Amino acid sequence: MKKIVVLFSGNGTNLENIAKKLHKKHLLITKAITNNPHAKGIERAKRLGIEVEIIDHKKFTSREEFDKALIEVIKKEAPNLIVLAGFMRILTPLFIKTFPTTINIHPSLLPLFKGANALERSFKSPMKVAGVTVHWVEEELDGGEIIDQACLYKKGLKFEEFKEKIHELEYELYPKVILEILQKE
Ligand code: GAR
């Protein structure tokens, strides 16, 4: 079976969704890694039998040092694909050169609303549609080649409804894209 490593920073609902749909059925999540020792996703992952490693970015003096530690851990797993799922750290060129097969999910229709607070900015914009994007991770933040997108009509939605619908799109799109990439490999 193909192997993936998932990186997350917070709630971990995308990780949970990917694990429930794909782990041990279509692929193996050999490890989930978080930079945040308090991430809610740690418990979610453990409940599903996924091994979690915490690499606290605050213990490193620079982004490069943190990324070197990440690289060392990920190399041991020899994954076919690295999946960022709510991983809120900017990766350095060293990481991207080492692992060019890294993908990310972003809660907007890229190239709109790159960077932080994309969900809020997308909601507040005058646009009547919104969506989610899966893209290759490249040096420019949220600027890598777009792999796939899904969208919704947002007119009239309250923020909480909007957020829920965006998450639903993510839960449909991300596992589908991961499988498509692994099948092509
Ligand atoms: C997701 O909505 C994901 O698109 C977003 O963080 C959330 C994580 O939720 N990612 C980004 O904003 C990356 N720039 P989760 O921890 O419950 O999966």
pLDDT > 90: percent of the chain: 99
Assigned domain for 30 exists: yes
Instruction: Name the residue with tokens 């694990």.
Output: 19
What separation in Å is there between the alpha carbon of 20 and the centre of ligand 1?
Answer: 17
Q: Spot the catalytic one: 57, 106, 135, 167.
A: 106
Which tokens belong to 12? 């971990």
- What residue ranges in the chain does DSSP mark as E strands? 3-8, 28-34, 52-54, 81-84, 102-106, 129-136, 146-153
- For residue 167, indicate whether it is catalytic: no
Identify the pLDDT of residue 185.
81
- Rounded Cα distance, 139 and 114, in Å: 13
Q: What is the three-class DSSP state of 11?
A: coil
Whole-number average pLDDT of the chain: 98
Identify the pLDDT of residue 54.
98
Assigned domain for 128 exists: no
Which CATH number characterizes residue 54's domain? 3.40.50.170
- Rounded Cα distance, 57 and 27, in Å: 28
Assigned domain for 91 exists: yes
Q: From the CB of residue 54, how many other CB atoms can be counted at a distance below 10 Å?
A: 14
Overall number of domains in the chain: 1
Assigned domain for 67 exists: yes
Ligand 1 atom at minimum distance from 41 CA: 16
- Domain containing 90 equals 3-105+133-146+169-184
Ligand 1 atom at minimum distance from 17 CA: 18
Assigned domain for 124 exists: no
What separation in Å is there between the alpha carbon of 170 and the centre of ligand 1?
Answer: 9
What separation in Å is there between the alpha carbon of 107 and the centre of ligand 1?
Answer: 7
Question: pLDDT category, 152, cuts 50, 70, 90?
Answer: very high
Identify the pLDDT of residue 165.
98
pLDDT > 70: percent of the chain: 100
pLDDT, average across residues 46-66:
97
- Rounded Cα distance, 112 and 96, in Å: 22
Per residue in 21-36, pLDDT (tens digit) is: 999 999 999 999 999 9
CB contact set of 136 (below 8 Å; sequence gap of 6+): 100, 102, 103, 144, 145, 147
Assigned domain for 33 exists: yes
Regarding pTM above 0.95, the answer is: yes
Assigned domain for 80 exists: yes
Question: pLDDT category, 66, cuts 50, 70, 90?
Answer: very high
Question: pLDDT category, 75, cuts 50, 70, 90?
Answer: very high
Assigned domain for 77 exists: yes
CA distances from 93 to 11, 143, 164 (A): 26, 13, 33
Per residue in 114-129, pLDDT (tens digit) is: 999 999 999 999 999 9
